[in-house]
């Protein structure tokens, strides 16, 4: 399995593709990430890739794997990423 691309590699690829400097491409990635963090509470979508959404998890009973003791896991808010259908089809192929 191939290694994941690093931020530097992504910036270098995008800089060559769009015709901007590597530094500007890295800044664009940083700004995109900051915007995603800020807007995630309202749902942040990247067309063709997916979207970040906030979800509420209910409280539930769990189990301590070491002792087998039942424990209560409190309710909490979590961030989820939902992959767009276009991305699934492009990566996995149409079924």
CB 40 within 8 A of CB 30: no
Mean local confidence (pLDDT), 14-27: 94
Same domain (yes/no): 47, 77: yes
pLDDT 10s digits, 26-82: 999 999 999 999 998 889 999 999 999 999 999 999 999 999 999 999 999 999 999
Same domain (yes/no): 12, 56: no
Same domain (yes/no): 29, 75: no
What is the extent of the structural domain holding 19? 1-39
Same domain (yes/no): 31, 63: no
Reported confidence tier of residue 1, pLDDT bands at 50, 70, 90? low
Same domain (yes/no): 28, 73: no
Same domain (yes/no): 25, 6: yes
Same domain (yes/no): 83, 61: yes
d(CA 82, CA 5): 21
d(CA 1, CA 24): 30
Same domain (yes/no): 29, 8: yes
Q: Is the model's pTM score more than 0.85?
A: no
d(CA 30, CA 43): 18
């Amino acid at each position: 399995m191939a290694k994941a691309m690093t931020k530097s590699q992504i910036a270098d690829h995008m800089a060559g593709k769009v015709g901007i400097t590597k530094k500007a491409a890295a800044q664009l990635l940083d700004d995109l990430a900051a915007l995603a963090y800020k807007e995630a509470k309202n749902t942040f979508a990247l067309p063709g890739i997916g979207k970040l959404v906030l979800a509420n998890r209910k409280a539930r009973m769990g189990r301590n794997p070491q002792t087998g003791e039942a424990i209560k896991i409190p309710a909490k808010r979590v961030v989820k990423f939902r992959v767009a259908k276009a991305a699934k089809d492009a990566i996995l192929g149409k079924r």
